[in-house]
């Protein structure tokens, strides 16, 4: 539904751009064309923004983000130039295209960057209109603009919250409600970089059920209560959990492991002190290997 609405809006902008080119209002035509490019950025496949030799998703997103920022910057500049033209101030159609700006900003940019763009545009556009418009038209435009900013901000903020909650659900195991292996691999990269940057340590503790018994929700909650809020707990497999423990030395890791063994006597528990030279992918694979003690001894070697 959203894609269909974006396609219709992009088509409308293209038609209006063609019409204004035909009648000779080139500034307005360029503005509509910039709006069409901004909307087209949301519709085009992301593979168009990278070459065949680049498969990195981050490079892909950077190209698309740069295109979006450039299209929106062009739209902003042309919209402000249009406000200076007295010929266009009597046209409600031309004035209304400035109301589209908040929607474009929130659709193309991250939330904070969009707010920054909107603030700059709003201050400049409102000052120009207050100097050039009079009476009811000025009041109607200013009220309409700020209502549009408010509604688009609320929608974008609530949409961002929903996306974060959905992402959290996707990163969790449905049975134990703990973070899944994919999230462990991501956090291993982050925590190893943090440990290297802050010159601290990172402990990896594996907890496994005896006799291949599966972890259920009550058992996972019991293990979670034995850990601090800053210590991450992950579900590696049906019968194995992994905890990432930020710490300073091997002695602290040993003490932490002994405490867990006392509080969780029914579980097999092993440990490994990660170093700055450890490969996150290697640690991840070792944590999933059968044989708890063997996996940790190989990682320590």
What is the chain written as a DSSP string? Answer: -HHHHHHHHHHHHHHHHHHHHHHT-HHHHHHHHHHHHHHHHHHS-GGGGS-TT---HHHHHHHHHHHHHHHHHHHHHHHHHHHH-HHHHT-HHHHHGGGGHHHHHHHHS-HHHHHHHHHHHHHHHHHHHHHH--HHHHHHHHHHHHHHHHHHHHHHHHHHHHHHHHHHHHTB-TTT-SB-HHHHHHHHHHHHHHHHHHT-EEEEEEEEEGGGPPP-HHHHHHHHHTS-TTSEEEEEETTEEEEEEEES-HHHHHHHHHHHHHH-TTEEEEEEEE-TT--HHHHHHHHHSSSHHHHHHHHH-
pLDDT at 122: 85
| pLDDT tens figures, 233-282 | 999 888 899 999 988 778 888 998 999 999 999 898 988 888 877 888 88
pLDDT at 125: 81
The model carries a pTM of 0.51
| pLDDT tens figures, 45-58 | 544 444 444 334 44
Tell me the CATH architecture of domain 181-300.
Answer: 2-Layer Sandwich (3.30)
Domain ranges of the chain: 2-49+56-170, 181-300
pLDDT at 207: 92
The stretches in the chain having pLDDT less than 70 are 1-2, 44-62, 86-95, 167-170, 291-301
Cα–Cα dist 107/41, whole Å: 10
Count of C-beta atoms within a 10 Å radius of residue 46: 11
């Amino acid at each position: 539904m959203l894609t269909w609405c974006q396609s219709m809006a992009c088509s409308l902008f293209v038609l209006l751009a063609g019409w204004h080119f035909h009648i000779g209002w080139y500034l307005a035509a360029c503005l509509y064309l910039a709006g069409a490019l901004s909307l087209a950025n949301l519709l085009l496949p992301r593979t168009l923004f990278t070459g065949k030799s680049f498969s990195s998703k981050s490079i892909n997103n950077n190209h698309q983000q740069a295109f979006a920022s450039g299209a929106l910057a062009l739209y902003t500049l042309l919209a402000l130039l249009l406000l200076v033209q007295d010929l266009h101030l009597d046209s409600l159609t031309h004035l209304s295209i400035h109301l589209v700006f908040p929607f474009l900003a929130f659709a193309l940019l991250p939330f904070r960057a969009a707010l920054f763009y909107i603030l700059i545009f709003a201050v400049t556009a409102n000052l120009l209109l207050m100097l050039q418009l009079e009476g009811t038209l000025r009041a109607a435009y200013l009220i309409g603009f700020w209502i549009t900013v408010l509604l688009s901000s609320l929608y974008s903020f609530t949409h961002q919250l929903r996306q974060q909650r959905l992402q959290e659900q996707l990163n969790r195991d449905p049975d134990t409600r703990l973070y899944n292996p994919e999230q462990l691999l991501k956090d291993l990269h982050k925590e190893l970089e943090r440990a290297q940057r802050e010159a601290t340590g990172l402990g990896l503790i594996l907890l496994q059920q005896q006799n291949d018994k599966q972890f259920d929700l009550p058992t996972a909650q019991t293990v979670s209560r034995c850990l601090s809020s800053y210590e991450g707990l992950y579900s590696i497999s049906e019968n194995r959990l992994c905890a990432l423990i930020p710490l300073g030395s091997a002695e602290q890791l040993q003490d932490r492991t002994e405490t867990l063994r006392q509080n969780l006597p029914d579980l097999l528990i092993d440990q490994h002190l990660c170093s700055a030279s450890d490969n996150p992918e290697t640690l991840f694979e070792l944590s999933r290997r059968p044989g708890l003690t063997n996996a940790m001894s190989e990682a320590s070697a």
